[in-house]
Every structure is written in structure tokens, then in C-alpha cells.
């Protein structure tokens, strides 16, 4: 199963044919997937914001954004442009250095985590051995940024919001990590590529969601809580805390929080797709289909089709999950802080531990179905 | 020296400077909140150094545990007791500083000479890299089994100890409660345990 | 000797990702209007005159959760090598991990009983 296009190898080889040493050719290649991924994440964010506004409008029987671009699809970009031109207000009593570093610390881990997002066998920036653990480790840095901005604002709402956000984030990190651990155990590897490949071969039947239904639900709830999505958007519960840690922010610094939260939602949806919904795999295994049609795996057209299908499938699953998250936003009422912490510590944590142990027991008793 | 080694050398220098600078700033900063945030910088730089030493799992665990958990705990602790008190200047503060500097310098010299004089047995086998986590797992459940199980007992003890110590603070001693006269808020606050330490600006 | 593969991309991506906030803030810095008026820089307190600062003592409840979190975070880190290498370890490792998790569940039960996980 080593088929698929190797863009990196081809690119580096062609540069080497021009007489460049291997190290330099690689240096030319390296920025390309990174910049592509950052641009991709930004475009994904704009689509996501537009979708959220349109679907929210539909849920409330409104029209939603309409004038900027066809069906208001440029509304998010226009809003972003507007925020660039906004005055930057740093409250007189705030700590201006921490006030600026806070949002940067919130947004950086989210973007760096895209390093391990796979769109295909070779369509990943870098398949590092840490894989999914890198994402978990990086996402644990976010509470520091939230605490920093909450503290630096020197505003009671902001500080309380920051403390709440950090408490919420740490409460759901452990169920999240334990749910991931069960998947990691099944694929015997932390690499995101290996996790998807472990689910391949049987189409939709091989996906982890059938073998890890409990883990899937735990992961989805914990991911929503980590993203501070409704029903878990307590840190910015406007009736209680104005806008939480964002209260004093305006202009581009506010935009950084906004971008971070939506890019994080996108990332979480991608991770759900990768961990439980087979990543880039199609519901019907494409290579078998090609085999029935009598096409060899080395057929270049087939490889291009497989790679594009992989990207499309990943995006389709991701946006399906995003759609689910938006529907949940308008369906479920916001939980209270004590309910939130009870759910995390007294329900999800024990259930996640049991799920992990059950997975281990099943792996011993039924090794063929649970990754050997 | 090829490109990769050059990049590693530069990364090492940057990380070392960052770590030492942040560590010094942690100690010397007068603002305790800055110290706590800078401590996160020290931990992150340390994670980078682990990564340069081929220990990718340890590096990520360093970020997860030290930056993501312990530093957050420290920040919570500081923010929750962050009373802006004006400390009265201590008499003979300089003697304390000199003694502290002498003790720290002596400790540094002692550790430095130990590092130089110890004949370190450097393992010449190639580092395991990303395979290290499998080797770690195998060690945990064979020859390091007892320490592994003891870790859980240690964690249990830490948890119980922490709860016993912290729960005592939740029920405040009567001497610690701020008197009603000190509260300068127009109404009694519900969320705050004690407030008004710097309410003079109202 | 550096044997890890693929981490040069991590270094590069940290740079590329840092460009996002840096470019965003620089663009805004070049294009935005000058700050106006001292009133805008007052702390927001729902239209009231701010009473006191925010740097005061808050409730200790948050601290308890952070304490319990540290313990369980360390536990998950210890479980990662177990989960990844599980197919090489076998039944004995399962029992040993069961003991490990069991001891910590006792801790969770203790925290629960003692009310460390209660909000009120």
C-alpha cells in the first residue's frame, strides 16, 4: 500500500537534475507545503465562518449574510479586512506586553498542529513519529495564552473568563487524551498516517467509529469543549462574563482570538475525521474498485484521482462534522460551570478510562479486529 | 559541517540562550506573574533541547506536563492569591542578597566541578529516535515494572496530600477573613473570597 | 547525531506559523488609525466606573481542578508508551496497567469523596 503520488520526491529529484545538492533542493521544497497548509487553513476558516453564519441563519429562519459576494460568501473575508483597519485599544490599566503576547500564544499552537494533518498517504507536511501526541501536547499550551490575556486585561470579566477558559480546557484534556490513547493502541502508532491506514481496506466498515463508538463520543464532546463551542462556551458566556477573556480586545488582536477559535474547530473536526472516520479513505475502498475495473495501481491517472478523492473525502468529513457542531450550537442550551466540570471529571474521565481498558482487553482477546 | 548540523547548532545556541535568559528573568523579575510566564519559556526551551537530543516523546511530554499542567497550576496559584501588597522594605536586604548569591554561586561551582570531574559513561549506540516510545513501553513492563507501579502510588500520595492541604484553605480561618470595613465595594461581593486590597482607585 | 526524521519541518512550520500573527499585527499596525481619546482606554465594566482593579484574590476552586489535573496528566503520559507498545507486551502488561490505573482511580474516588471535584 505504498501507492500514491510522492510530490516531494518528484520535486526534489527534478531540482537535483538541475544540478542542485540534495540539501538545498529540500530547502526549496520545504516552505511549499507549509505555506499551502497555512493558506488552506485560512481559506477553510473563511468557508467555516460563512457556513456558520448561513446555517445559523437557516436555523433561525433568517437569510444571513447576503450582499458581500454570491450568497454572502465573502462576508468573512470582508469582516477580516475590516478588523485590520480597526483601532487598537490597549486599556490604560492593562499590561501591554502580556496583552499582545496572549493572543499570539493562543493562535500559534493551533497553526503548528496542522503539521500532522494528513490529506493522503504523502499529502502531509511531515509524518513525524509523535503524530497525534504533538497535537495534544501543543493544545495544552493554549490555557497559558488564555490566562495571560485574561490577566493582562486587568478587567474582572476578562480575568474570570481566562480562569474559566483555562479550567475548562484542562478539565477536558484528559478525557480527550484517553480517547486518543484507545485509538493509538489499536493502530500501534501515534503517527496520523498509520492511524488512517489501520482503518483502510474495508471502506466504511473498517473505520474506527464502529470499534470505538464510546471513544468517538468522548472525543467529540471533549473537542467541542476544548474549542469553547456551544454548549460549552462558558468562558465567553455573554450574560455572565460579557465576552470573557476577549472583553478588552479589539481590532486585530481580537481577530487573532477569533481566527484561533475557528481554526481550532476546523482542526478538531479534521482530527475526528482522521481518528474515527477513516481520514482520507472513501466509504467504498477505491483501490478495490480500481482492481475490479482492471486498472493497475501504478496508473498515473488513477493515482491523481485517488489523491484528489482523498483530499475531498477529508474535507467532506470535516465539514460534515462542522455542520454537526453548528447544529448542536443551536440545539443545545449552554451548560453551567458546575455541570461542565461534573461532566468532564465525574462522567467523561471514568468512562474514558473504562473505554481504554475495554479496548485493551478486546485487543488481547480479538487481536485480528483491534490491530493485532 | 553540512546544512542539517548547522541548523542544529544554531537551534541549540538559540534554545540555550533562551533558556538561560528566561531562567535568569524568572529569578530576577520583581513581578511574580512575569516570573510564572517566563517559567513556561524555560520549560519550552528545555523541550526543544530534548528534541535536539533525539528524545521526541520526552520533549512532547515536557510540553504537556510542565507547560500545560504544572505551569498552569503555578499560574492559577499566583492569580488566585495575587494580592497586590506593598511590601515594606526589609532592613539589611543587601546581606540577604549577598548570602543568596554566595550560596547559589557555591552550588553552581559544586555542580560544575562534579560535571567536569565525573567520568561519564556515554552510550555509543545510536539513539532510538521515534522508536524510543516502544522501548520505553517495553522497559516499563519488564525491568522497570516496580518503579512504574510505584509512580502510581506516588501520584496517589501527591493527590491525597494536595487535597488535604488545599481543602484546608477553602474554609478560611477567622483571622484571615477581611473585615467588613476593608471592603470598599458598594455591595458585598459574592464571587470574591477577599477583595479590596487595592480599591483605592474607586 | 540527530536521528529523528521529519522534525526539520516542525522547525520550519513554527516559523511559518509565527508569520500568521506577526503579519496580521503588522498589517493592522500600518493601516489602523491612531488611538483616540483616553475614555476608550478605560477598563470595561458594563458602563460603570471600574471599581478597583482586577488583580485581586479570586476563588480557590479553580486551583483544586488544576491540582487533580496535574496528577492525571502525568498518568496519561505514562500510559502512552503502554498503549503504543501494547501489541508487543501482552496480557501481563494489561494486568500491570490495570493495577496502575486502579491505584489512580482510588485517587479519583478520594478526590470525589472529599469534594475536590465540586464546584460549589
- Is B88 in a helix, a strand, or coil? coil
For the stretch C13-37, pLDDT in tens is 888 888 888 888 888 888 877 777 7
CATH class of C60-114: mainly alpha
Domain ranges within chain C, ordered by starting residue:
1-32, 60-114
Minimal C-alpha gap between C98 and chain B (Å): 10
Cβ–Cβ of B60/A137 closer than 8 Å?
yes
Q: Is B37 on the interface with C (CB under 8 A)?
A: no
CA A218 from centre of chain: 16
| Of the partner residues B2, B71, B129, the one whose CB lies closest to the CB of residue A144 | B71
Of the pLDDT bands very low, low, confident and very high (cuts 50, 70, 90), residue B107 is: very high
- How far, in Å, are A45, A331, C56 from residue A64 at the CA level? 18, 18, 42
Give the global pTM: 0.85
- How far, in Å, are A209, A223, A249, C93 from residue A333 at the CA level? 26, 17, 26, 43
Minimal C-alpha gap between B111 and chain A (Å): 32
Tell me which residues of chain C, numbers 46 to 85, contact chain B at a CB-CB cutoff of 8 Å: 49-53, 55-64, 66-71, 73-75, 77-78, 80-82, 84-85
Predicted confidence at residue B83, as pLDDT, reads 59
Of the pLDDT bands very low, low, confident and very high (cuts 50, 70, 90), residue B87 is: low
CB pairs under 8 A between A and C: 218
Interface predicted TM-score (ipTM): 0.85
Q: Is B4 on the interface with A (CB under 8 A)?
A: yes
Nearest Cα residue in chain C from B58: C77
Cβ proximity of B50 and B74 under 8 Å: no
- How far, in Å, are A173, A195, A230, A241, B159 from residue A177 at the CA level? 6, 15, 21, 29, 20
Q: Is A136 on the interface with B (CB under 8 A)?
A: yes
- Is B55 in a helix, a strand, or coil? coil
Mutate to test the interface with C, among A190, A340, A345, A350 (most CBs of C within 10 A): A345
- How far, in Å, are A37, A126, A221, A250, A282 from residue A122 at the CA level? 14, 9, 30, 40, 16
Report the alpha-carbon angle C72-C74-C80, nearest 5: 105
Torsion angle of the four alpha carbons B127, B130, B136, B138, in this order, in degrees rounded to the nearest 10 = -100
List CB contacts (< 8 A) between C29 and chain A.
Answer: 88
Strand partners, B194: C57
| Of the partner residues C11, C57, C74, the one whose CB lies closest to the CB of residue B11 | C11
Cβ–Cβ of C58/A163 closer than 8 Å?
yes
Q: Is C49 on the interface with A (CB under 8 A)?
A: no
Tens place of pLDDT per residue across chain A (372 aa) = 344 567 777 777 787 787 777 777 777 778 888 888 888 888 888 889 888 888 888 888 888 888 887 887 888 888 888 888 888 888 877 788 888 888 998 999 999 988 888 887 777 888 888 888 999 999 888 889 988 888 888 877 888 888 888 888 888 999 999 999 999 888 888 888 888 888 887 777 788 888 888 999 999 999 998 888 877 776 666 666 777 787 778 788 888 888 888 999 999 999 999 889 888 888 777 777 777 777 776 777 777 888 888 888 889 999 999 999 888 888 888 888 888 888 888 889 999 999 999 988 888 887 777 766
Cβ–Cβ of C69/A256 closer than 8 Å?
no
List CB contacts (< 8 A) between C69 and chain A.
Answer: 170-171, 173-174
Minimal C-alpha gap between B8 and chain A (Å): 14
Cβ–Cβ of C28/A248 closer than 8 Å?
no
List CB contacts (< 8 A) between B158 and chain C.
Answer: 71
Minimal C-alpha gap between A300 and chain B (Å): 33
Mutate to test the interface with B, among C49, C100, C119 (most CBs of B within 10 A): C100
| Of the partner residues C59, C78, C110, the one whose CB lies closest to the CB of residue B160 | C110
- The chains found to touch C (3+ Cβ pairs under 8 angstroms) are A, B
Amino acid at each position: 500500500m505504498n501507492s500514491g503520488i510522492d510530490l516531494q520526491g518528484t520535486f526534489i529529484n527534478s531540482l537535483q537534475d538541475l544540478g542542485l545538492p540534495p540539501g538545498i533542493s529540500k530547502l526549496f521544497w520545504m516552505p511549499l507545503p507549509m505555506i499551502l497548509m497555512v493558506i488552506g487553513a485560512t481559506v477553510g476558516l473563511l468557508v467555516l465562518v460563512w457556513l456558520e453564519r448561513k446555517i445559523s441563519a437557516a436555523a433561525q429562519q433568517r437569510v444571513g449574510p447576503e450582499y458581500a459576494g454570491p450568497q454572502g460568501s465573502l462576508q468573512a473575508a470582508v469582516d477580516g479586512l475590516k478588523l485590520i483597519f480597526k483601532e487598537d485599544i490597549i486599556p490604560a490599566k492593562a499590561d501591554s506586553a502580556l496583552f499582545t503576547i496572549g493572543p499570539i500564544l493562543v493562535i500559534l499552537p493551533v497553526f503548528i498542529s496542522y503539521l500532522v494533518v494528513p490529506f493522503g498517504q504523502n499529502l502531509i507536511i511531515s509524518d513525524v513519529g509523535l503524530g497525534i501526541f504533538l497535537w495534544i501536547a501543543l493544545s495544552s499550551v493554549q490555557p497559558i495564552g488564555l490566562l495571560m490575556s485574561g490577566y493582562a486585561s486587568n478587567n474582572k470579566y476578562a480575568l474570570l473568563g481566562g480562569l474559566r477558559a483555562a479550567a475548562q480546557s484542562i478539565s477536558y484534556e484528559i478525557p480527550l487524551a484517553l480517547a486518543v490513547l484507545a485509538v493509538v493502541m489499536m493502530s500501534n502508532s501515534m503517527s496520523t498516517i498509520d492511524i488512517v491506514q489501520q482503518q483502510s481496506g474495508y471502506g466504511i466498515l473498517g473505520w474506527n467509529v464502529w470499534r470505538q463508538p464510546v471513544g468517538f463520543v468522548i472525543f467529540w464532546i471533549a473537542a467541542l469543549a476544548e474549542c469553547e463551542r456551544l454548549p460549552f462556551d462558558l468562558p465567553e458566556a455573554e450574560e455572565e462574563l460579557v465576552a470573557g477573556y476577549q472583553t478588552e480586545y479589539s481590532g486585530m488582536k481580537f481577530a487573532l482570538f477569533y481566527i484561533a477559535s475557528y481554526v481550532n474547530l476546523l482542526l478538531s473536526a479534521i482530527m475526528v475525521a482522521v481518528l474515527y472516520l477513516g481520514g482520507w479513505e472513501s466509504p467504498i475502498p477505491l483501490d478495490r474498485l480500481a482492481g475490479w475495473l482492471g486498472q493497475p495501481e501504478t496508473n498515473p491517472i488513477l493515482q491523481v484521482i485517488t489523491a484528489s478523492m482523498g483530499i475531498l473525502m477529508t474535507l467532506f468529513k470535516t465539514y460534515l462534522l462542522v455542520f454537526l457542531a453548528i447544529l448542536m450550537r443551536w440545539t443545545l442550551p449552554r451548560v453551567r460551570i458546575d455541570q461542565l466540570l461534573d461532566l468532564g471529571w465525574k462522567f467523561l474521565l471514568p468512562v474514558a478510562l473504562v473505554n481504554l481498558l475495554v479496548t485493551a482487553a478486546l485487543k488481547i482477546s480479538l487481536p485480528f479486529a483491534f490491530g493485532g | 559541517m553540512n546544512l542539517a548540523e548547522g541548523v542544529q547548532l544554531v537551534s541549540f545556541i538559540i534554545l540555550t540562550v533562551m533558556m538561560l535568559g528566561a531562567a535568569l528573568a524568572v529569578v530576577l523579575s520583581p513581578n511574580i506573574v512575569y516570573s510564572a510566564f517566563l517559567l513556561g519559556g524555560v520549560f519550552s526551551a528545555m523541550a526543544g533541547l530534548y528534541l535536539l537530543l533525539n528524545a521526541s516523546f520526552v520533549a512532547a511530554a515536557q510540553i504537556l506536563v510542565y507547560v500545560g499542567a504544572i505551569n498552569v497550576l503555578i499560574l492559577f496559584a499566583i492569580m488566585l492569591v495575587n494580592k497586590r501588597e506593598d511590601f515594606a522594605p526589609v532592613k539589611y536586604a543587601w546581606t540577604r542578597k549577598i548570602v543568596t548569591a554566595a550560596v547559589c554561586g557555591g552550588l553552581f561551582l559544586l555542580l560544575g566541578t562534579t560535571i567536569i570531574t565525573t567520568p561519564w559513561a556515554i552510550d555509543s549506540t545510536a539513539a532510538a529516535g521515534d522508536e524510543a516510545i516502544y522501548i520505553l513501553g517495553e522497559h516499563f513492563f519488564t525491568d522497570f515494572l516496580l518503579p512504574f507501579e510505584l509512580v502510581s502510588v506516588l501520584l496517589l500520595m501527591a493527590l491525597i496530600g494536595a487535597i488535604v492541604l488545599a481543602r484546608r484553605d477553602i474554609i478560611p480561618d477567622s483571622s484571615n477573613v477581611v473585615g467588613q470595613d476593608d471592603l470598599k465595594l458598594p455591595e458585598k461581593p459574592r464571587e470574591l473570597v477577599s477583595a479590596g486590597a487595592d480599591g483605592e482607585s474607586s | 547525531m540527530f536521528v529523528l526524521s521529519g522534525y526539520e519541518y516542525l522547525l520550519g512550520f513554527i516559523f511559518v506559523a509565527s508569520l500568521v500573527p506577526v503579519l496580521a499585527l503588522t498589517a493592522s499596525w500600518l493601516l489602523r488609525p491612531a488611538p483616540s481619546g483616553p475614555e476608550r482606554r478605560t477598563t470595561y465594566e458594563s458602563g460603570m466606573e471600574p471599581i478597583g482593579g482586577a488583580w485581586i484574590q479570586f476563588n480557590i476552586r479553580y486551583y483544586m481542578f488544576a491540582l487533580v489535573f496535574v496528577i492525571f496528566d502525568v498518568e496519561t503520559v505514562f500510559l502512552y508508551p503502554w498503549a503504543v507498545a501494547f501489541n508487543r507486551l501482552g496480557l501481563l502488561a494489561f494486568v500491570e496497567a490495570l493495577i496502575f490505573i486502579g491505584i489512580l482511580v482510588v485517587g479519583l474516588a478520594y478526590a470525589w469523596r472529599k469534594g475536590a471535584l465540586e464546584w460549589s
